[in-house]
Structure 1
Amino acid sequence: MGSRWTRNTGTMIDALHRQLSRAAITTQGDECALNHIDLGDGPPLLLIHGGHGGWYHWMKNIEALAAHSRVIAPDLPGFGASTAPKSGFTLHLAASELFALLDRLGIDTVDVAAFSFGACIAAQMAVRFPHRVRSLAVVNPAGMGPVSARLSDTQNEAARVAKAHGLEQGVRISLEEIMLCDSRLVTEDLCRLTADHVRATRVQTRPIARTHPTRALLDSVRAPMWLALGSQDPHQRHELDLRARYVESISAGNTSSMCHAAHWLQFEAAPWFNDNLANFIDRVRGTPRPPRSIDTGFQT
């Protein structure tokens, strides 16, 4: 039973990624070409992925969110199928390229949701052009402060295994010990997809994140914020309450939520995340929906 469930989950992930890939297009900017998905109608929602990632970080969220938003999900400059920027990667450049993409798509004001390293870029966007970022949702953000010893040890072990036994094996450790706490979700298809994106990454994100840019930038964000934290995320759980209180202290309108998930929260707890993000955005837009009861345990 367990093996069949795992095999079917992997097949579904592979099929979902192929389906969404068919909707991806590439547009050329001054610094780079950005591969992105543009689905749905309504007010625009920009999804910014995390380190070693791509829009696939949102593959269990895009279609659900596109039911009431126009979802724009790019591969960042130097990630996935987007080209590397000519003058090199910085947070400032990444924010500029995303605004340029929005301009090419005819989008002025946008809601933004950002995962992990993407939170560094989203905060940069909200500070530079506050009139263009209506709301900001950050999911297990990187760049918030010192990481735990456990996280560093796991990252080092994953790198050692990848070097000794192949990237997919190192990726499996990262998925099982950092990204997801439900091991049933760690399929061969997911390991392969993740490893492909690690190979495609041409940006060193960890040195940037460990200068703590997100925390410094969030102090100046005036857009309403929602912080989503995974209680099992090694990036966050050594100071979960501190980070929640910090974001809430910036403005009386800011909120935080927590669910039983590891780092890749929006994948592991997709129904919970999709519903809570939609409710947050609707409140900001002035179109609240009745709350739903969503299980915050493992989601498939």
Structure 2
Amino acid sequence: MALDYSAVPRMPDGRTAAEHIREIEATARAVRVPMGNGGRMMWHIWGEGSGKPILLLFHGGSGSWIHWIRNVQPLSEHFTVYAADMPGLGDSDPPDDVRDIWSVTHCVQAAMQGLLPAEEKFAITGFSFGGMVAGHIAVLFAQRIRRIVMVGAGGLKATRKPGPKLRKLLPEMPAETLAAEARRNLEILMLHDPAGVDGIAIHMQILNTTRAKTRSRDMGQQFKLSEVLPRVKVPLTGIWGEFDSTTYPNIQERIDLFRARQPDFEMNVIPGAGHWVAYEAADAFNAKLIEILAEPQARSTLTAASRGGVA
């Protein structure tokens, strides 16, 4: 059944959210890569052939590369950006077991081996479920990963404040109901300020959640990132929204978990933002990520320039 997006708000200039998403997507090269189980994994690449350092972007649960729609172009000025659709999500085929994190990870591993330049080092930024996958990938590519930046990472055995339950989006819902329920879910989980829930976010939420096959929430509730952390030797850094719905007001507990494994772990908190910090506070997020992943000499300059902005 075709999804009805007619109730999704348009952009201020009159374009639909779908048109905007297609315009950003058209600036990348899209490629579907074998992932070892007979299926293929979708990647979008910005800045290919530029010679800039490689940055992989792993999106959140029931998501796709669209989670990074406000980030891919600014980041491509500094990196060769590979934005993945995780197995069983977005336009990627499912893993063998949609409830098993290692089944997902081994598909990502196979795709990375076929896609990335051999022996070249790279960084990973993993949002929510993507942080959980990044932690598992770190065990398999330890010698090649420069740093992993965890963004509101899921799968941690830590306190989470109870909140309203999300509602399942169904293709057969009337357009007004579908858009309203998507907005409600975004306000509960993804963004702190309801005013930030625009047409792009609503369109993304409808599209991604109605086609999701991989059960990322099941893996998060099994604390799979905490389980693998003792084996992760790759340097880790965090970026969290101040009011992340999966964390607030218990962010110190997350910091302690990471520092128990890596004492020099640095947590960067973006003021006023929620879980989907890369969208809600895109400019601050992009600046902080660029600073974190800069070479040491460049990083000291960027840090001095950004003091007083992002904490």
Instruction: State the TM-score, normalizing by the size of structure 1.
Output: 0.86
**Cα shift at 1:185:** 2.1
> 2: CA distance between counterparts of 1:130 and 1:81?
27
Partner of 1:241 in structure 2? Answer: 252
Partners of 2:105 and 2:169 in 1: CA distance: 33
User: Which residue in 2 is equivalent to 1:175?
Assistant: 186
Residue equivalent to 1:121: 133
Show the counterpart of 1:66: 76
**Aligned residue for 1:282?**
294
Task: Calculate the aligned-residue CA RMSD, in Å.
Answer: 2.8
Match of 2:94 among 84, 96, 114: 84
Shift of 1:205: 1.4
Output the amino acid matched with 1:193. Answer: M
The change in CA–CA distance for 1:68 and 1:30 in structure 2 (over 3 A counts) is: same
- In the alignment, what sits opposite 1:224? 235
Tell me, in whole angstroms, the C-alpha distance in 2 between the residues paired with 1:104 and 1:110.
15
Letter in 2 for 1:134: R
| One of 254, 261, 278 as aligned partner of 2:265 | 254
Question: What stretches of structure 1 of length at least 5 have no aligned partner?
Answer: none
Where does residue 142 of structure 2 map in the other structure? Answer: 130
Structure 2: distance between partners of 1:13 and 1:276: 27
Give the secondary structure class of the aligned counterpart of 2:139. Answer: helix
1:27-66 equivalent positions in 2, closer than 5 A: 27-31=33-37, 32-40=39-47, 41=50, 42-66=52-76
Can you list the C-alpha shifts for 1:194-214, whole angstroms capped at 9, x where unaligned? 111111101111111111111
Q: In terms of mean alpha carbon deviation, does 7-16 or 28-37 score higher?
A: 7-16
TM-score by length of 2: 0.83
Give yes or no for contact 2:10–2:17 (8 Å, CA) kept in 1. no
Contact persistence 2:63–2:90 (CA under 8 A): yes
- Taking the aligned partners of 2:173 and 2:125, their CA distance within structure 1 comes to 36
Aligned residues: 289
Q: Secondary structure at the match of 1:290?
A: helix
Higher helix share: 1
Asked whether 1:21 is paired with 2:25, we answer yes
Distance 1:282 1:10 in 2: 38
Identity of aligned residues (%): 23
Rounded to whole Å, the distance in 2 between the matches of 1:196 and 1:221 is 33
Q: 1:159 to 1:10 in 2, by over 3 A?
A: farther
Paired residue for 1:273?
285
2:151 equivalent in structure 1 = 139
**C-alpha separation in 1, matches of 2:204 and 2:286:** 22
In structure 2, relative to structure 1, the CA distance for the partners of 1:163 and 1:249 (3 Å cut) is farther
CA change 1:261–1:206 in 2 (3 A) is: same
The C-alpha deviation readout for 1:162-191, integer Å capped at 9, x for no partner, is 998744332211111221122222123421
Q: Provide the secondary structure at the position in 2 that maps to 1:155.
A: coil
- CA gap of 1:86–1:159, structure 2 versus 1, over 3 A, is closer
Q: Distance in 1 between matches of 2:275 and 2:13?
A: 19
Instruction: Give 3-state SS (helix, strand or coil) of 1:52's partner.
Output: coil
Structure 2: segments with no counterpart, 5+ residues: 1-8
Specify the code of the residue in structure 2 equivalent to 1:19.
E
Structure 1 residues 164 and 194 mapped into 2: Cα distance closer, same or farther (>3 Å)?
closer
